[in-house]
Structure 1
Amino acid sequence: MDYSQLQLDETLFKGIQEAGYVTCTPVQEKVLEVSLDGSDLYVQSQTGTGKTAAFLVTIMQQLLNGGKANSKNGLVLVPTRELAVQVEEEAEKLGKHTDLTMASFYGGVGYEKQIEKLQKGVDIIIGTPGRIIDLNTSKKMNLSKVGYLAIDEADRMFDMGFYPDLRKIVKHLPDSTDRQTMLFSATLNSYVKNLAWEYTKDAKEINIESQNITVDEIDQELIHVSSDDKMRLLTGILSREHPESLIIFCNTKKMCEVLSKRLELNGIKNEFIIGDLPQSKRLKIMNAFKAGKLNCLIATDVAARGIDVNDLAMVINWDLPNEAENYVHRIGRTARAGKSGKAYTFCSEQDVYSLMPIERYIEKQIPSRIAYEEDFGEDLSKDKWIKTGSWKDEEGAKKH
């Protein structure tokens, strides 16, 4: 099913188009078929299937279709700060042409800016349970008008001990008959089902078959290397293997840009894509990559989520991902359509803490070794100062 068949609000549809969404993923299709009439649902769906867009499009359409006019707002609960930021970025992208406001609320940062946003008014609140409770208890956040609730990664919420917090939050929301509740989880265990029975009305169950990428088919190698030597290891691999198509994954937007510039100084043509990049530039880069005019791309997990590029010759994890599932999503891009690619993972002293959750998730040890002297290439960018954010200056210059 295409998004054009859903009769969505024009301003929302424009944002969906610009985000590059044309056809619904299986979870988006099944959710949107039943959620747009206000039905409650609980959904079993893995990370990376497009579920974020499924609940965001539902909430936005409902708000634009009279919910906002009736002073209702949406609440999205997520287990981690990283996920809160990712969901906010996706919401801003999809809601770009609407008059809806969205903001994320999580711990580990000051309250001032978050309170400032609440005072201005927020249509879609995205947050972690602890901070939502804090703001609600201090009467800075009003939850009595929440008409649409999405609980994402519910199974992880339980694993992290958030069940009592979820119950506390739900007590402050309108009754289940006066709100729409959507629950998303990688597994529908008894805890998740109990939550669904307790806080939903006539909820519909949706199961999306897990498209498990068999990581066994992928030639994986984890190399233990110090942070300072990662660049030399990268230039060594690239000069030896000359992959015809490659994505290098980094955990942060800044690292993507720094790495891109350092590779350029080493004579390796590349581009980077991050969530902040203007859509026109992003499309230009992606079209060049798909056409084979560009063979090296550097990306964050968030930016890569909207990329339909598989059958890669190589994937390199510059950092180990913070979310174990993302390891599978990253390396799985090399093993589609019966082809088998190579996946290198650089594991430094900072990355080692992320290794165990990944190996537990894929239920196997990643073949690993220590970097040898012969693995290293030359790094012409060593000791050079790298300026970041210059793409923003370029965009600004174009507008004036």
Structure 2
Amino acid sequence: MTTFSELGVDQDIVDALAAKGIVDAFPIQEQTIPLGLPGQDIIGQAKTGTGKTFGFGIPVVQRLGLDPAPGVKALIVVPTRELAVQVYEDMDMLTSNRSTSVVAIYGGKAYEGQIDQLKAGAQIVVGTPGRLIDLAGQRLLDLSHAAEVVLDEADKMLDLGFLPDIEKIFAKLPAVRHTMLYSATMPGPIVALARRFMSNPIHIRATDPDEGLTQANIKHLVYRAHSLDKDEIIARILQAEGRGKTVVFTRTKRAAQKLVDELNDRGFNAGAVHGDMSQEARERSMAAFKAGKKDVLIATDVAARGIDVDDVTHVINHTIPDDEKTYLHRAGRTGRAGKTGIAVTFVDWEDLHKWALINRALEFGQPDPVETYSSSPHLFGDLGIPEGTKGRIAKARTTETAPAQRPQRATEVAAEGDAVGTTRRRRRRRRASDRVGETFLAEADATVGATTAGAERPASGDAAQEGAGTHDGGGREHHDGKPAPARRRRRRGGGGGAAPVAAP
């Protein structure tokens, strides 16, 4: 392995990388950094997860110098918000020992903070096309001095229809600049874009052309599963031996939210990233996944490229991807940085033709997915799921931690408070009814006492029963075996709280 120092990287950048445990360079970095440092235009082609962010990030930071003047000197264009956040974090880390400032410009967040950072003199801008054009159109973003330009995930920009926006952005850049373009694939429009906006670029392919097809470090499992059984199968896969962080892909936003709710209900710690969530919620969910607070992430394809986490062990395709490119992008979330991974794909009966096309394009040799249910023995064997595993772990997690040792959550405290309040209200209602009953009996006793000549009222209820008699089942009181005079019943519509009146 080659170290970054051997590639000619400045010591302060080497120290920043070493602080994160990054010492040796990946193949794409070994080939691009020595060319990027002197200013050679580069077309870098490599699958995701091979370290290409540092491949262009290190030359950009080093070429700007230790103390660049305020103002935008470098522009990095990315297709999605999640990728903008990821690249921003990497660039911010590379500049941690320099005065260089980095700002992320993307939609879904307030303008004010981004504008303030630009006005403060940020030198490196990482942004998505839409927000970049918006701020440039308002003359809040000046790109006329951006001599370092990077297009990351260019093929994804093509898929999302951003090429016209890219042309608008290049029109605002200086004619003389250092340009680097990175892409996992090189379709015709991307090649045409490179020829138009780059100067004698060198095309670097960091890996063997067939590696993207064979995916030797990823185990691919394809199952024909019933839609009603998928949640149970996923829940059992999540309990497989050695299972680490897991990404589950769904086709729609609604399916993603439904699945995350289902998995959380089953006792798993899952989060989601999809288009119906606010940008802040998506960033919180992604941050929790990266930090390990959540070990399952449910995502749609829009968010896929922003999931740059090296320790993802499993990728599960809840619904089959539309084509082989999408499949590779999804599966590329695991098996990163030289590690191994597992990709599981569910194929519905009506999607068998779609899988046939993907299988043929990627040369998997699995034209007929195995019919699989949550109880199928081969499922347990393929994924190392312990025998007897069920799809719900909520009870197990509850018994693992004693209630006295586990801190109460806010929702639990609120629930207990509601229960206590309900009990107190019930007690108050009981006491109120008791007081009404006692008042009624006291008034009845007083009435009876008034009609009994020479009778002395006992001091307590028990004494009253001993000396004066007992109450019968109808509420009348007997004295010396003689029934008391009948009392009138109160009229319901009348005097409400009036005391009973003795019969004359």
Structure 1 residues 89-100: aligned runs within 5 Å: 89-100=89-100
Task: Tell me the SS of whatever aligns to 1:141.
Answer: coil
| Offset of residue 45 of structure 1 | 2.2
Take 1:328 and 1:373, find their aligned partners in 2: how far apart are those partners?
A: 25
- Counterpart position of 1:328: 331
Change beyond 3 A, Cα 1:299–1:137? same
Structure 1 residues 303 and 165 mapped into 2: Cα distance closer, same or farther (>3 Å)?
A: closer
Task: Write out aligned runs for 1:39-188 (5 A).
Answer: 39-64=40-65, 68-69=68-69, 73-176=73-176, 179-188=177-186
* 3-state DSSP of counterpart to 2:190: helix
Match of 1:218, SS state, is strand
**Compared CA separation, residues 143 and 197, structure 1 to 2 (3 A):** same
Q: State percent identity of aligned pairs.
A: 28
CA–CA separation in structure 1 for the residues paired with 2:170 and 2:133: 10
Q: Deviations over 1:129-153 (max 9, x none)?
A: 1110100000111111212000112
Q: Structure 2: which amino acid aligns with 1:154?
A: A
2: CA distance, partners of 1:237 / 1:188:
35
Greater mean deviation of Cα atoms: 30-39 or 14-23 = 14-23
SS of the aligned residue for 2:200 comes to coil
Structure 1: which 5+ residue stretches go unaligned?
Answer: 265-273, 283-295, 389-400
Verify the 8 A CA contact 2:149 2:179 in the aligned structure 1.
yes
For normalisation by structure 1, the TM-score amounts to 0.67
Q: Is the contact between residue 16 and residue 94 of structure 1 (CA under 8 Å) also seen in structure 2?
A: yes
Query: Could you say which structure has the greater relative contact order, defined with CA pairs below 8 angstroms and 6 or more residues apart?
Result: 1
Aligned 8 A contact 2:105 2:114 in 1: yes
Q: Which runs of 5+ in 2 are unaligned?
A: 250-259, 270-284, 299-303, 377-388, 399-406, 411-504
Please state how far the C-alpha of 1:55 moved relative to its aligned partner. 0.7
Is the 1:44–1:184 contact (alpha carbons within 8 Å) kept by the matching residues of 2? yes
Give the equivalent residue in structure 1 for 2:16: 15
Partner Cα distance (2:105, 2:133) in 1: 10
Per-residue deviation at 1:202?
2.9
Given candidates 244, 247, 253, the residue that maps to 2:244 is 247
Distance 1:382 1:324, change over 3 A: farther
Q: For 1:232-381, what aligned pairs fall within 5 Å after superposition? A: 233=233, 236-237=236-237, 243=241, 245-250=242-247, 262=267, 305-306=309-310, 315=314, 317=316, 324-330=327-333, 332=335, 343-344=343-344, 367=369, 372=374, 376-380=390-394
The corresponding residue for 1:207 is 205
- CA–CA distance in 2 between the matches of 1:336 and 1:383? 30
Write out per-residue CA displacement over residues 211-239 of structure 1, whole angstroms, 9 at most, x where no aligned residue. 32526983514556679x95x65564466
CA RMSD of aligned residues (A): 4.6
Over 3 Å counting, the alpha-carbon distance change for 1:82 and 1:325 in structure 2 is: farther
**Counterpart in 1 of 2:194?**
196
Query: Which aligned pairs between 1:219-234 and structure 2 lie closer than 5 A?
Result: 219-221=220-222, 230=231, 233=233
Letter in 2 for 1:20: G
Count of residue pairs the alignment pairs up: 339
Deviation (angstroms), 1:35: 0.7
Q: Using the alignment, how far apart are the partners of 2:30 and 2:107 within structure 1?
A: 34
Contact 1:40 1:180 in 2 (8 A): yes
> In the TM superposition, what whole-angstrom CA distance separates every residue of 1:270-294 from its partner, at most 9, and x where no partner exists?
xxxx9869x9x99xxxxxxxxxxxx
Alignment of 1:23-38 (within 5 A): 23-38=24-39
TM-score, normalised relative to structure 2? 0.55
Structure 1 partner of 2:382:
none
Give how far 1:10 is off. Answer: 2.7
